[in-house]
Structure 1
């Protein structure tokens, strides 16, 4: 199973207000673990960088001025993602920006299956903080490099968090799942019951005589004492 954990950085919060992508970071996962393949690019947003956004990710207009436009990397990005499941922290935000950029180019939106790790975390830790930093702290993921937001670094951290949210690094060792994939044929043998006639339980004359002789040897049997007490 192929999954892409990805994150973006932007000039603001709403693509409908003219805000643009400035960074995309992707980490490929195969069968639940990072494969080592990544996709990372900085983008020229063709607009100014608001101070609020700069304080979040530290990407200045000067730094981004010589970076490629989204149009130059769109085909490569879509090919890298392909039909993989997407793993995103706050999926609505990132998918909104990606699809807005694709729409500007007249390209179809991404329609991949999406896992929102915020939703997973809220189910696992109801009522608790579910920011990426909070989840890293709770799950023992080292985020000391994260002094500012960065798309590739955040995708790498999210990949580790996602692994823990879905069972940890040993989830591939699923013996029950492996057993379920192995078909076992069990042969059954029909057993024909033989009905025998009922055995006689009535005592023979000899058995009755032996029983009477045995009782005669008993001295003061309890049933006779009980009968005498009942009669008095």
Structure 2
């Protein structure tokens, strides 16, 4: 499943008050893991940079003076995100700005499904802080380089947070052993067939049997590791 981690930096809080996007960061993830593909766009907002916004992201009016307008990079942005879900920390904020910029550029609103990691974090940790820095501390993710907010940097941190919010790289340590044991004791599994309440035959998924040559290759690879924890 392809998803896009997305973040923006802006000149302020409300596009209806004339504030604009100055940076867009996108990071591609597949099955919750980054693929290495990313997109970073700096955008000339055609206006000044308020001091409060500059203190947040450190992007100056002078730096943006020679950057392209949103209308000049919109095709590159839309091509990168495609029709895939957008994973955003506080999605309503970024989606409002993106759709406003698209409207001003004469383009339709985004149809991509937004996934708000703030909502996910609040459901998992009710009553606890759920800003990006707090979640990095909770999951022991190094965010020491985050002296300023930056769209692509925040995407990289959010990708790690999102993975943890979804259960991490491995949801458990039994590696399917419990399910395999349960299946082995099931008479219906021994027959390879189960039935639903309607009587329809359903073949249950069977545990994967690793070939001997793969096990041998795996064992040989493990011997190359220095001081593995399982030998202590």
Same fold (TM over 0.5): yes
Q: Deviations over 1:48-103 (max 9, x none)?
A: 00001001001110010001110111011011101111100000000000010000
CA drift of 1:170 comes to 2.0
Q: Compute the TM-score of the two structures, normalised by the length of structure 2.
A: 0.75
1:1-232 to structure 2, matched below 5 A, reads 1-171=1-171, 175=176, 185-186=192-193
Q: Compute the TM-score of the two structures, normalised by the length of structure 1.
A: 0.75
Q: For 2:120 and 2:150, how far apart are their aligned partners in 1?
A: 22
Question: Is contact 1:10–1:20 with CA below 8 Å preserved after alignment?
Answer: yes
Q: Deviations over 1:207-230 (max 9, x none)?
A: xxxxxxxxxxxxxxxxxxxxxxxx
Question: Is contact 1:88–1:116 with CA below 8 Å preserved after alignment?
Answer: yes
Question: Is contact 2:57–2:148 with CA below 8 Å preserved after alignment?
Answer: yes
Question: Is contact 1:3–1:30 with CA below 8 Å preserved after alignment?
Answer: yes
Question: Is contact 2:70–2:105 with CA below 8 Å preserved after alignment?
Answer: no
Q: For 1:4 and 1:171, how far apart are their aligned partners in 2?
A: 22
* 3-state SS of paired residue (2:4): strand
CA drift of 1:113 comes to 1.2
Superposition RMSD on alpha carbons, in Å?
2.3
Question: Is contact 2:22–2:45 with CA below 8 Å preserved after alignment?
Answer: yes
Question: Is contact 1:31–1:172 with CA below 8 Å preserved after alignment?
Answer: no
CA drift of 1:185 comes to 4.0
CA drift of 1:106 comes to 1.3
Q: For 1:34 and 1:112, how far apart are their aligned partners in 2?
A: 19
Report which of the two structures shows the higher radius of gyration computed on alpha carbons: 1
Q: For 1:186 and 1:120, how far apart are their aligned partners in 2?
A: 37
Q: Deviations over 1:102-135 (max 9, x none)?
A: 0001111111111100000001110010010000
Q: For 1:18 and 1:141, how far apart are their aligned partners in 2?
A: 35
Question: Is contact 1:5–1:28 with CA below 8 Å preserved after alignment?
Answer: yes
Q: For 1:10 and 1:175, how far apart are their aligned partners in 2?
A: 46
* 3-state SS of paired residue (1:92): helix
